[in-house]
Amino acid sequence: MRAVAIRAWSAHLPGQSGPLPGGWSPGPACPPERAADLLGRKGLLYKQPAERLGLCAVHRALGLAPVTGRWTPPEPDPRTAVVASSNLGSLETVCAVARTAGAGSLSDVSPLDAPNVSSNVLASTVAIRFGFGGPNLMVCSGHPAGLDAMRLAQLLLAAGRADRVVVVGAEPADETAAALAGADLRAGAACVVLEPAAEDSALVLHPVHDHADPESCEPARPVRFGQFYGAAGVLAVAAAAAANRTARVVAGSDADGWRCAVVETKGDR
Amino acid sequence: MATIAASAVRSCLGDGPATFAALLAGRGGAAPLRYVDPDLVNVGAAYEIDEETSHRRAGTWLAACVVEALRQADPRVPRGSVPVLAGTGLRELGAAEKWSAGAAGMTVEDLHFTGVLRETDDRLGPVVTVCNACSATGHLLALAQDLVDSGAAPAVVVAGADSLTVSMLAMIGRVAPDRTERIRPFDADRTGVLLGEGAAAAVVVPDGAAAAPLGRLLATGMSCDAAHETAPDAGGIARAMREALDRSGRKGEEVDLVLAHGTGTELNDRVEARVLREHLGENGPLVTAIKGATGHTSGASALMSLDVALRCLATGWVPPVAGLDRPAADCGGVRLVRSAPVRARPRLAQVDAFGFGGVNAVTLVGAA
């Protein structure tokens, strides 16, 4: 596998005031319930927090202005792929629907939640809104999911299955998600747009590798954002790109395994 | 191009040979719902595996299939060198639902399949769980072939598994006017989909690397409709079909057999039949489908169809569409195999897999 070019990045982290570790300040971010501030009102009904955050991150990575009028999705572009990472996005809806049905109140279950009980709703929601008709993958592999998503994106580009891959990671931090994943879970999303590397690519992502031990690969002092769980790997790449410094990014856990990759800038400061 | 070195299945009908035998005999596994009260979800039947498992129900069968497939293929590869791509629609969300209702023992790692494969076989490398709805393992066949073709891995395990969730049952029951008793793909009286449980695994290796190859993995095309969250779209499905043909350098008229996605829903079957007609020719290849016998096994279903396709290529026998009695008028122009197996000696088979979110994967597989 070869390095790929990083063309754009963003992070949408409600509640993050000031810089992240590594120095980057991704800027103010509306919480999921106010996603309409950025995305406009259309199409957000019954969208879960992870999808709202993910859509905001993609919107920002694409450099789009806040939507004031009516949003019309573009015609599907078959050469743009989506690889999404999230573990907990559907958890609360799934559990709530099961509890409602279990209590004998099936009629209180909304059919509009149907897409939300399927675990790939983040990836398809991004594809539908932005017209991305290429391969569409949803990675749910725990802590390394964000860098697993990067690796699958690199594979799609290497195999000529897309000219551009939008990688997006998003997690919610609702009560159900935090009860299962831990109280330090943070809601947020990040997006990185990858393309095949060219001669003059100023910023590249080298192939993602597996590592038994997060301290074992070079260079030292990795950028890590474990509390964002499935979004952590995407956020780490976005943060390294934004800092415009060659850096190692790591995501994972002892239980789920570790992945690491190097973000290299040709104009290193 | 790559080779399928092994394939293992666990469906409500049993293992791969037992499932194929049931399909040839016209037997299906639909039964009254066992583990959920039918009245709570307004769904009366399913294709469950009649087995008590740990809370990691899908993972239990997934691990069993991975171990069996690796034993069959027995690749001579270094420790930790074989990545596992694990496909699923619903992960272990069934366990999460019970946890949310008060059951103990669930951890966040139990949602995905890394843990169940730990210490099963030291040749296995990283496990990546991919949730691509009902076409998950179709997509993973594409990625596995790309990994093997590029030399990034000496072998790849593709696996898939799903078990029932109350939330998905509730969604089916919430919108269904009547309860469906069994899946009847392409039938005039089809009434909808039912969930099935099961798992499957396949080992993908470079050409020439399998001691007893089951078939050649020629190509998989992937697409996303980017159109509707739950309804299929002819344009997106056609793109996946065309890409599979283009990547393999084959023509539509060379396809001898199609393992249709065939969910028995009004919309899927009509759209699928139309795209097959338009892209593989009016009354082109034989078309069969397994979900009337196995249920909709979601993330495992593409690999189950692949296993059946490989058995058709190996034996020359094609089972009838399980659950089909009277073909629907809106599914005309496709050569549905009806009532009895056909001796056809197919050489090139197509496996269709379409999922929620408009995610499509179409795989072409050839005789070994």
* Interchain CB distance below 8 Å, B356 and A210: no
Residues in A 45-64 with any Cβ partner in B closer than 8 A: none
Residue-wise pLDDT for A206-258, tens only, equals: 999 998 777 666 656 677 798 999 999 999 999 999 998 899 999 999 999 99
What residue in A sits closest to B239 (Cα-Cα)?
A78
* Interchain CB distance below 8 Å, B227 and A115: no
Determine the straight-line distance between the first and last CA of chain A, rounded to whole angstroms: 27
Q: So what's the pLDDT on residue A109?
A: 97
**Architecture of the structural domain at A4-88+123-268:** 3-Layer(aba) Sandwich (3.40)
* Interchain CB distance below 8 Å, B167 and A98: yes
Q: So what's the pLDDT on residue B115?
A: 97
User: For residue B50, which phi and psi values (nearest 5 degrees)?
Assistant: -80, 75
Q: Where are the domains of chain A?
A: 4-88+123-268
The conformation of residue A269, written as its DSSP 8-state character, comes to -
Residue A269 clears pLDDT 60, i.e. is over it: no
**Cross-strand partners of A6:** A194
Give the other-Cβ count within 10 Å of B127's Cβ: 26
The token pair at A154 is 């690199």
Q: A256 — contact with chain B (CB < 8 Å)? A: yes
Q: So what's the pLDDT on residue A266?
A: 85
* Interchain CB distance below 8 Å, B128 and A139: yes
Q: B224 — contact with chain A (CB < 8 Å)? A: yes
CB-nearest to A256 from B109, B125, B142 is B109
Question: Which CATH code is given to the segment(s) B2-367?
Answer: 3.40.47.10
The distance of B29 to chain A (nearest Cα, Å) reads 24
- Burial letters A18-55, b for 16+ CB under 10 A, else e: eebebebebeebbebeebeebbbeebbeebbbbbbbbb
Q: So what's the pLDDT on residue A217?
A: 63
Q: Is the pTM of this model over 0.95?
A: yes
Which residue reads 């995305």 in tokens?
A39
Is the Cα torsion angle B236, B237, B240, B246 positive or negative in sign? Answer: negative
Q: Where are the domains of chain B?
A: 2-367
Residues in A 75-94 with any Cβ partner in B closer than 8 A: 76, 78, 82, 87-88, 90-91, 93-94
Sorting pLDDT into bands at 50, 70 and 90, what band is A268?
low
Taking CB atoms and an 8 Å cutoff, what residues of chain A touch B358?
124, 127-128, 136
Q: Which residues of chain B carry a pLDDT beneath 50? A: none
CB-nearest to A140 from B106, B129, B227 is B129
The distance of B125 to chain A (nearest Cα, Å) reads 9
Residue-wise pLDDT for A57-68, tens only, equals: 999 999 999 999
Residue-wise pLDDT for A23-63, tens only, equals: 899 999 999 999 999 999 988 999 999 999 999 999 999 99
User: For residue B38, which phi and psi values (nearest 5 degrees)?
Assistant: -55, -35
Q: So what's the pLDDT on residue A99?
A: 97
**Cross-strand partners of B220:** B363
Complex ipTM over 0.90 = yes
Q: So what's the pLDDT on residue B113?
A: 98
Which string of DSSP letters, residue by residue, matches A185-211? Answer: ---EEEEEEEEE--TT-SEEEPPPEEE
Residue-wise pLDDT for A88-115, tens only, equals: 999 999 999 999 999 999 999 999 999 9
Residue-wise pLDDT for A128-168, tens only, equals: 999 999 999 999 999 999 999 999 999 999 999 999 999 99
Determine the straight-line distance between the first and last CA of chain B, rounded to whole angstroms: 12
Q: B99 — contact with chain A (CB < 8 Å)? A: yes
Q: A30 — contact with chain B (CB < 8 Å)? A: no
